[in-house]
Amino acid sequence: MFYVLTLFYFYNVILYCIFMEFENRIAQEQKNDIPSHIPSLKIGSTKIALVKENSYTIESTNLLVNSINDNITHNNAFDRHVKITPISNTKNRKHARTHVENAKTELYNKIKMEFNAKSVMPLATFLNKNSNKHGVDYNVILHFIGNIGNQLTFLRRKGYSIPFFSLEDFIVIDNSIFSFMNDDKIFKIDDETKNITVDYPLKYNKNNSFIPPHVMMGLIDTSDKIPTDIYFSSIYYSLAQICVYIFLREKIKDEDDYDKISGPFIYTSLYWCLKRCLDKDENKRILLYV
């Protein structure tokens, strides 16, 4: 685990080196793009709001907000003046969980984070920009996997994982920082089995979701199949699927599909990173960029 975290640290140093070039390209594109400011947005139980010009708030669980804060301040070009304040100890959640008695308070306590940004938008809006409609460029997908990789590593260290990703789960800050926001999809990892238990139906749009082939239960259209156990590394499989879609606008189901469409970036560090995420053996599946 220490080795993986160290590699992600050096990877983010590389991201910083390309940050200014990336920002200049974004600035040139914005004149022809759709508006990027949102007055308010809700993803799962997480609330995002514009409170004043260039100032936003995120209200969510302690765990998710801290993962977002770690992500957006990790390798940033300027100070976002992040301020985090407690809201309340939320005892009653929208979806009751069978393991609530043993859950850590960080998953249920609500806090609010205020930060500076020029723009915040849903990932789907970002992907509909003129320059991104046919797939984003290589630097953008590196930013995405770096940012979301940071959050997944943060959650894994705390003992949590996610069953799968959907496009609706993310926001984009200043056209360059990607953050996962759906606190309803975060589940505790069992120390012995390394599984997460999905014990309530998850709402999802099958056209915008990236669900590994072995994760077919615990969803809104199969509510009779819950609770169901899912190995924590399934989220790496989903990460590879959504990265391919963002990068190439191709949907893949498995490693065979991946090999057919990976020609444009074959044998790069990104190629091997996503291939590791798609390993058929869930015990060998790993998020590693070298």
Q: pLDDT per residue over 11-44, tens digit each? A: 554 555 544 454 555 444 444 444 456 788 999 9
> Is pLDDT of 67 > 70?
yes
> Is pLDDT of 88 > 80?
no
- Stated pTM of the model: 0.82
> Is pLDDT of 230 > 90?
yes
Contacts for 44 with CB less than 8 Å, ≥ 6 apart: 169, 181, 182, 183, 184, 185
Retrieve residue 108's tokens.
């249920």
- Single-letter amino acid code for the residue at 70: D
Mean per-residue pLDDT of the chain: 83
In the block, which residue shows the tokens 């009751």?
96
Per-residue model confidence (pLDDT) at position 111 = 93
Average the pLDDT over 47-70 and give the result: 93
List, in order of start, the domains of the chain with CATH numbers: 2-36+120-277 (1.10.510)
The total number of residues shown for the chain amounts to 290
- Beta strand 170-173 with 160-161: parallel, antiparallel or unpaired? unpaired
pLDDT band, very low/low/confident/very high, at 248 (cuts 50, 70, 90): very high
> Is pLDDT of 152 > 70?
yes
Per-residue model confidence (pLDDT) at position 204 = 83
In the block, which residue shows the tokens 């723009």?
119
d(CA 190, CA 196): 6
Exposed/middle/buried for residue 63 (C-beta within 10 Å: 0-12, 13-18, 19+): buried
> Is pLDDT of 263 > 90?
yes
> Is pLDDT of 212 > 70?
yes
